[in-house]
Amino acid sequence: MAAGSRATFLGVPRILGLAGRDGGRGGADGGGGPGGARAGRPAPAGSGFLSGDRPFPDAAREALGDTQLRRNLAHATGTIRAKRARVVAELDDWEELRTAGEAVKRATLARLDEHLVRLEEEVTARGGQVHWARDAAEANSIVTELVRATGQREVVKVKSMATQEIGLNEALAAAGLTVHETDLAELIVQLGHDRPSHIVAPALHRNRGEIREIFLREIPGVDPRLRAEPRDLADTARAHLRQTFLRAKVAVSGANAAVAETGTLCVVESEGNGRMCLTLPETLITVMGIEKVVPTWRDLEIYLQLLPRSATGERMNPYTSTWAGVTPGDGPRNVHLVLLDNGRTATLADPVGRDALHCIKCGACLNICPVYQRVGGHAYGSVYPGPIGAILSPQLTGVERNASLPYASSLCGACAEVCPVRIDIPSILVRLRAEHVEERSRARVPSAEALAMAAGAWVMSDAGRFAAAGRAGRLGRALGRRRGRVSTLPPPLSAWTASRDAPRPPEETFRDWWSRTRAPRDGQARHNPTAPDDPTGREGPTAPDDRRARRARRARHDQETR
Amino acid sequence: MSAREEILRRVRAANAAAGQPAPPRVPRDYRIGGDHPAGHPELVRRLSARLGDYRAGVVPTAGPSAPEVGAAVRAALTLAGVGAADPVLVPPGLPDGWCPQGIVDDAFAASVLGGFAAVVTGCAAACAETGTLALDGSPGQGRRALTLVPDRHVCVVRAEQVVATVPELLARLDPGRPLTLVSGPSATSDIELHRVEGVHGPRTLVVVLVAPPPPAFPPAREPRPGVEKRHQT
């Protein structure tokens, strides 16, 4: 309970927490207020960088117009997909690992309260301090107060999705503190006054030439002859951050996992910036979502195989660090763990949607997604883009604040196939769409889509109406004469063609063609196609003559369409 | 209500709302043990190949004695580009003879650590399939900063420390200790997801394998007898 009272001491009377929320975008909806709760759910929504200021289709349209962005995305996601496929194929127990990875997460969430309490006990017993944060504002206040208590003005940071989510950098800057992102990609994003676009490689949308420009502009004393080569750019980052690491007294990190039974935290990284932050400073503050806890040390043997192969296509990432509380003479003397809710308990309340909390943030679903590959991460608005973002963000914020994201998918299912913990992303997307539609109908907001569906139902429920509607469609032949495709329909159908082409309607509907060419004979055959006493003497639609005629028709058709 | 109490209450309420799902049994039918026992020559060969893929250097010793390890460490330092007069850092407890010229860590400040050309350590265990070395800060390995700040790391791995799989590796480690798993030199894939070795951690990693020379190195991986060089920085 000491940790609980410490959290209260640190501060954060709720009212102050709410006032501080402006550090992040989208602070309008209260983390504490009942307005943020999913309908009928027991916990309020999260806040922070979890939604954009415009719907996905608008942002996506702009992104699609950026040819450089599309080239960068295609190149980077193509590279990583090939590497991932190669190293995943090496393991003949990959499916068993995925199944185990899913089961551990499911089992953990079913007893999440017990595991969190155990984690707190173990971390505290090893000299660490545990804090609890209901939402982004509270987490930001806790971290800000912890940094202030050290008397330091400067913080080094390890890349972390949780701190991106809560807008910690902005909150610390607002408190007058200087934050140094030390992951190369986060550094590129920070120096470029940009936003992350990928959960593993936040600067994926930038190519080497653009990164060189950013470094030349933002890092003092960079040689203007700097080449746009990954090797040279990485060396520049090393030189730039070296002194910062050596003098840093306070670091902030996230965590890939925390082991409840041992109080061990784990950070998986590549560059060594993580080790610098976790090892050299005197104070280490780790912000971790409550869903990251795993029950046993042994569970890490699963994720340390699934994560690196899925995330960067490596057999193992260069560096994995673990620590349990404080070790005298080795690393920070003050170790803090901030456990973050921020909409996670609201997500947990949905029997299907809660599986989104199984995510280990590998990014494989982004790299494989045909939508992400074309529009990139910014279009999703949230720090969690791609398929996982499309199911996680709306659940963390409440679907009303991310209403367009469940539709940012073609439901092709590739994401579920690559997911290392087998999250059924398409099913959760469909569920969220249903939730959104239900909410709209509860709120009595008729959408164009709902009206179209209602009209469609009326037409299709009557054969005569359906036939008439099909013939009416032929009027559309006035359009699309040149290419056989209609790229702009008149309103209200223009909503459909805004991002798609419609085919030019055919001269004849299928029903008309059927009754003209087939109806008299097949009409009889259909009633009793194989009856021996068939009065026409025919054997039904599979008679040899018939098959020949069909083949001839198909050949003619093929020739016409070729 | 404190944040702690409220979050725990929300978790319980959420699980209740979701129908109080029972925790499933975790099927651990993935591979736990490898195809060979720890220290098997095939595992040592595999570790060597994996390290090569990460562009780490590998130097096998002629035999297990301290002078033989010491000779291989000298070769490894030379391979890493360390001159005879360059200062080399070692942790307390490194076996005698492994690195006689080494200066023993005495709680040096981070900026002092940066002045060393290289650090020489042992390790706690290694995993062949992933090319991973595990350090746990016990004698001969030192605190975590030692293997981080100097630009070159020479790590001595004894054959019996080499296991096949990740589960076998973690089973040998104590989660109460500060652990570092190292798989090759520091690297980044942040620029166009293109891997580049050498960022903030040591840019050069050379592993000294204390084992009889493995029987069957692929010829291409043995540019000259005794010393295998994969990467120059």
- The residue that leads in pLDDT, A204 or B147, is B147
| Token couple for B181 | 């798993």
What order do you get walking across the sheet with B152-158 strand by strand? B57-60, B204-210, B152-158, B118-121, B88-90, B103-104
Q: Which of B2, B18, B25 sits opposite A5 (nearest CB)?
A: B2
Q: How far is CA A543 from CA A448, A513, A526, A548, in A?
A: 48, 21, 13, 9
Strands (E) across A70-166 are located at 129-133, 154-157
Instruction: For CATH 3.40.50.10420, list the domain ranges present in chain A.
Output: 2-346
Amino acid at A134: R
Find the distance separating the first CA and the last CA of chain B, reported in whole Å. 57
- Mean pLDDT of each 10-residue bin along chain A, 562 residues long: 35 32 35 42 82 90 89 91 96 97 98 98 98 98 98 96 96 97 94 93 92 95 94 93 94 98 97 96 98 98 98 95 97 98 97 97 97 94 95 94 92 96 97 88 75 86 88 78 77 76 84 82 50 45 56 62 50
Question: Percentage of chain B surpassing pLDDT 90?
Answer: 83
Residue A5, pLDDT score: 36
Q: Do B190 and A133 touch (CB under 8 A)?
A: no
The CA-CA-CA angle for residues A193, A199, A205, to 5°, reads 50
Q: Which of A262, A327, A351 sits opposite B178 (nearest CB)?
A: A327
What's the gap in Å between the CA of B126 and the closest CA on chain A? 12
- The residue that leads in pLDDT, B38 or A530, is B38
Q: Is residue B214 pLDDT above 70, yes or no?
A: no
Amino acid at B146: L
Residue of chain A nearest B5, judged by CA positions: A4
Q: State the Rg of chain A over Cα.
A: 29
Q: Do A272 and B8 touch (CB under 8 A)?
A: no
Chain A neighbors of B171, CB-CB under 8 A: 298, 301
What's the gap in Å between the CA of A349 and the closest CA on chain B? 4
Residue B16, pLDDT score: 97
Q: Do B183 and A316 touch (CB under 8 A)?
A: yes
What region does B55 belong to: left with phi over 0, alpha with psi -120 to 50, or beta? left
Residue B34, pLDDT score: 84
Chain B neighbors of A298, CB-CB under 8 A: 167, 170-171
Taking alpha carbons only, the member of A64, A268, A246, A233 closest to residue A159 is A268
DSSP state of B90: E
Which residues does B230 contact at the CB level (< 8 Å), separation at least 6?
A: B51, B52, B55, B56, B57, B58
Query: What does chain A come to in residues?
Result: 562
Taking alpha carbons only, the member of A13, A153, A331, A135 closest to residue A144 is A153
Handedness of CA A296, A298, A299, A303 (dihedral sign): positive
Handedness of CA B135, B140, B146, B150 (dihedral sign): negative
3-state secondary structure labels for all residues of A242-281: HHHHHHCCEEEECCCEEECCCCEEEEEECCCHHHHHHHCC
**Contact (CB, 8 A) for A534 and A540:** yes
Chain A neighbors of B13, CB-CB under 8 A: 42-43, 345, 349
Q: Do B193 and A204 touch (CB under 8 A)?
A: yes
Q: Do A8 and B2 touch (CB under 8 A)?
A: yes
How many alpha carbons fall within 13 Å on the CB side of residue A6? 17
Residue A500, pLDDT score: 80
Chain B neighbors of A321, CB-CB under 8 A: 144, 178-181
What's the gap in Å between the CA of A302 and the closest CA on chain B? 8
DSSP state of A40: T
Residue A40, pLDDT score: 53
Categorize the per-residue pLDDT at B166 as very low, low, confident or very high, splitting at 50, 70 and 90.
very high
CA pair distance A172, A112, nearest whole angstrom: 30
- The residue that leads in pLDDT, B136 or A476, is B136
Residue A210, pLDDT score: 94
Show the domains of chain B with their CATH numbers: 33-221 (3.40.50.10420)
Residue of chain A nearest B196, judged by CA positions: A231
Q: Is residue B62 pLDDT above 50, yes or no?
A: yes
- A68-72 contacts at long range (C-beta below 8 A, 24 or more positions apart): A68/A207, A69/A205, A69/A376, A70/A374, A70/A376, A71/A207, A72/A204, A72/A205, A72/A206, A72/A207, A72/B192
Q: Do A42 and B16 touch (CB under 8 A)?
A: yes
Q: Which of B4, B23, B196 sits opposite A132 (nearest CB)?
A: B4
CA pair distance A49, A381, nearest whole angstrom: 8
- Rounded to 10 deg, the angle between the A67-90 and A300-311 helix axes is 140
Q: Is residue B7 pLDDT above 90, yes or no?
A: yes
Q: Which of B10, B131, B188 sits opposite A42 (nearest CB)?
A: B10
Residue A518, pLDDT score: 82
Q: Do B180 and A302 touch (CB under 8 A)?
A: no
The CATH code that applies to domain A2-346 is 3.40.50.10420
CB pairs under 8 A between A and B: 289
Query: What does chain B come to in residues?
Result: 233
Residue A521, pLDDT score: 59
**For an interface test with B, which of A320, A345, A395 has the most B Cβ atoms less than 10 Å from its Cβ?**
A345
Residue A244, pLDDT score: 94
Please provide residue A321's backbone torsions phi and psi, each rounded to the nearest 5 degrees.
Answer: -110, 140
Q: Is residue B232 pLDDT above 80, yes or no?
A: no
Chain A neighbors of B30, CB-CB under 8 A: 93, 96-97, 100, 302, 305
Taking alpha carbons only, the member of A336, A291, A338, A381 closest to residue A24 is A381
Residue B198, pLDDT score: 85
Please provide residue A276's backbone torsions phi and psi, each rounded to the nearest 5 degrees.
Answer: -55, -45
Q: Do A201 and B190 touch (CB under 8 A)?
A: yes
Q: How far is CA A315 from CA A88, B127, B198, in A?
A: 9, 11, 18
What is the ipTM score, two decimals? 0.90
Residue B56, pLDDT score: 96
